[in-house]
Structure 1
Amino acid sequence: MPLLDTPVRLGVQLEPQHAPYSAFRDAVLRLEEMGVDILFNWDHFFPLSGDPEGMHFESWTMLAAWAEQTERVEFGALVNCNSYRNPDLQADMARTIDHISAKDGTGRFIFATGSGWFERDYEEYGYEFGTVGSRLDDLADGLARIEARWQKLNPAPTRRIPVMIGGKGEQKTLRLVARHADIWHSFVRPGELAHKLGVIERWADREERDTSGLIVSNELKRRGEDDADDLYDAGVRLFTLGFGGPDWDFDLVKSWLRWRDAKNGA
């Protein structure tokens, strides 16, 4: 079962497209000051909406800048694409960003990852696209290597870096959630969550891993408070909000922060 006694948190995903980097720098500062819990970007090389040739920035270099710029907020990609970088390199990059962000001695980086899907990225950057199954197999291999590399790095990460896995496939993705994840992210509707969590529990029994501390994450974009209430009742405790610029609607974030605080009894 998911961890239900943890506070509700709000993560805002700044879509890294269609704006100059100075706008992202300003937005990150404003969102941290507003009290957002987690900041995300995404790991692609081209816009996912709007002008396909529009401005776009790379994920990990942006995250390293956020690590230095911010003081309190956690952050990561929603989600990293396992295909684009050697797994041991990913582990080293994550450890380094973890240290950059450790203003009080403890890092704030969340390693959120998935198997990849945006074929244009693969074609234009020279990665083998493969199949859904082959990419998931690569993710399974990559996660094992990443966790092993974290045990070898000097210096070690400042904390056990939380692993967040996105997706809902029952045969491979949810088994990886059961094996590795601290946070499971999906777009699953409230009525589906109990079934999917049951699948994760069954895989956890097979993997001999305790998932009682698993945090369930879901998306708020194009959803209202009634949907969010239903997701909360189904066990979601991390809510993410896709946030497109450059004309960001900060009032929308304020409204979700009020909803979060009401759920937390603040």
Structure 2
Amino acid sequence: YGYEFGTAIGRLHQLRDDLPRIKARLGKLTPGPVGSLPILVGGSGEKVTLRLVAEHADAWNSFGPPESWAAKNAILDEWCEKVGRDPKAVERTVCISADEVDSAEAYAEVGAEHVIVMSGDPFDLDALARLKDALSS
């Protein structure tokens, strides 16, 4: 599309500048959506990304292991408090690979509300069956 990819911090600064415009535009869709379109920001950078999540996102997605995810989750809570937002206003999600589904419960215990399972091709239905079993017990 002719856009320069730039650096990670440059892209984050661009996202910081664009998120208010994105939210404003989503609020003016015609016809409007049923409900609202949530903004999910993924990443784990403690100084920029998690602050952007606290300021603008409806949901946050990151990765583990569970102990690392929990530490980032706590930092997101701190950012929410610093910017005057209720930490509970941000849904917490984690992205795991199909071979990590056995750790889903550990993520739930440290605050993950949703688990996103990545899969390659072909799709690993056995991993989803393990996840279902782990979450239903």
Structure 1 and Structure 2 fold alike (TM over 0.5): yes
Counterpart in the other structure of 1:183? 59
By how many angstroms is 1:181 displaced? 1.9
Q: How far apart in 2 are the matches of 1:252 and 1:189?
A: 18
Classify 1:220/1:197 alpha carbon distance in 2 versus 1 (closer, same or farther; 3 Å). closer
Counterpart in the other structure of 1:196? 72
Q: Which has the higher contact order (CA 8 A, sep 6+)?
A: 1
Segments of structure 2 that go 5 or more residues without pairing to the other structure are none
Q: What is the count of residue pairs matched by the alignment?
A: 136
Q: How far apart in 2 are the matches of 1:241 and 1:160?
A: 24
Counterpart in the other structure of 1:170? 46
Counterpart in the other structure of 1:214? 90
Q: What does the per-residue CA deviation read over 1:85-121, in whole Å, with 9 as the maximum and x for residues that have no partner? A: xxxxxxxxxxxxxxxxxxxxxxxxxxxxxxxxxxxxx
Kindly provide the amino acid, as one letter, of the partner of residue 249 in structure 1.
D
**TM-score relative to the length of structure 2:** 0.86
Per the alignment, in what secondary structure is the counterpart of residue 77 of structure 2? helix
Report if aligned partners of 1:168, 1:188 keep a CA contact under 8 Å in 2. Answer: no
Q: How far apart in 1 are the matches of 2:79 and 2:120?
A: 36
Counterpart in the other structure of 2:130? 255
Per the alignment, in what secondary structure is the counterpart of residue 29 of structure 2? coil
Per the alignment, in what secondary structure is the counterpart of residue 113 of structure 2? strand
Larger Rg: 1
Q: How far apart in 1 are the matches of 2:69 and 2:128?
A: 25
Higher helix share: 2
Segments of structure 1 that go 5 or more residues without pairing to the other structure are 1-124
- The structure 2 residue matched to 1:131, chosen from 7, 15, 25, is 7
By how many angstroms is 1:233 displaced? 1.3
Q: Stretches of 4+ moved more than 3 A in 1?
A: none
Q: What does the per-residue CA deviation read over 1:198-219, in whole Å, with 9 as the maximum and x for residues that have no partner? A: 3212221232222213222112
| RMSD of aligned alpha carbons | 1.8
Kindly provide the amino acid, as one letter, of the partner of residue 183 in structure 1.
A
Counterpart in the other structure of 1:223? 100
**TM-score relative to the length of structure 1:** 0.47
Classify 1:233/1:132 alpha carbon distance in 2 versus 1 (closer, same or farther; 3 Å). same
Q: How far apart in 2 are the matches of 1:137 and 1:153?
A: 25
Q: How far apart in 2 are the matches of 1:213 and 1:234?
A: 17
Q: How far apart in 1 are the matches of 2:110 and 2:104?
A: 10
Identity %: 35
By how many angstroms is 1:186 displaced? 0.7
